[in-house]
Amino acid sequence: AQHKTLEGKTILITAGPTYEAIDPVRFIGNHSSGKMGFSLAEEAAKRGAKVILVSGPSAEKTNIQNIEIHRVTSAKEMLEEVFKFYENVDIAIASAAVADYAPKEVAKEKIKKNDENLTIELVKNPDILKTMGEKKDHQFLVGFALETQNEEENAKGKLEKKNLDMIVLNSLRDEGAGFKNDTNKIKIFTKTEKTEFDLKSKDEVAKDIFNFIENQLLK
Ligand code: C5P
């Protein structure tokens, strides 16, 4: 039987991509499936936690009880939704692939194809996880990093800069890891430790992540 090791805890998880509107029919997005976030949500719920899952556009579904799904579209909406709950959660995990930039203006009508070139001005989106780090009080805060170069250094840099307790690095260089796949290969960093894991299903990865978090909470 499943041990309810997270009984009494409330966990906030962000998942999926964000879509940033260009006009009424187009957007800027990315290939994130939301699978890692949904696997984390299900694992936490199985361990007895109350889960608040804030997800961008994703085809993933769940019928596990104790998961409250809040579906959003853009980074701004995700930020707003997250901060309705952040203050009162014990653990927050940011697994969403938030768009770094959004169109400065959303065209009211569908953009027509006229000129040879079209320029869309982009402005930086809010960094949801960094904002959580700035407002951190009692929360155990977990981020993800997907890097293509200097991966360990960059991941550790983000741990510091975003004021995180731990960061999960997934490498695009490992076959079967990352975005659209059902499998993932991760390394976990805290301020003092580095732990490497084998390639496995995202459901198994979610178990490793919560085993690790539970250990950290005991320290
Ligand atoms: O800085 P970078 O985007 O690589 O950081 C990745 C981590 O930050 C992930 O945990 C991601 O969910 C989070 N993030 C966020 N809001 C953003 C950008 C990234 O929450 N605008």
pTM: 0.96
65 falls within a domain: yes
Domain count, the chain: 1
- Strands 26-28 and 166-171 turn out to be unpaired
Buried b (16+ CB within 10 A) or exposed e, 19-34: bbbbbeebbbbeebbb
116 falls within a domain: no
5 falls within a domain: no
Is the CB of 145 within 6 Å of ligand 1? yes
Q: Is 30 a catalytic residue?
A: yes
Distance from the first to the final alpha carbon of the chain: 26
Q: Is 127 annotated as a binding residue?
A: yes
ipTM: 0.97
Euclidean distance between CA atoms 38 and 49, whole angstroms: 14
Compute the chain's Rg from CA coordinates: 18
Which residue is closest in CA terms to ligand 1's atom 8? Answer: 129
Domain that holds residue 67: 10-105+121-218
**Confidence bin at 179 (pLDDT 50/70/90):** low
Quick: pLDDT tens for 68-97: 999 999 999 999 999 999 999 999 999 999
115 falls within a domain: no
Question: DSSP letter at 21?
Answer: E
Cα(129) to centroid(ligand 1), Å:
6
113 falls within a domain: no
Residue 22, domain CATH: 3.40.50.10300
111 falls within a domain: no
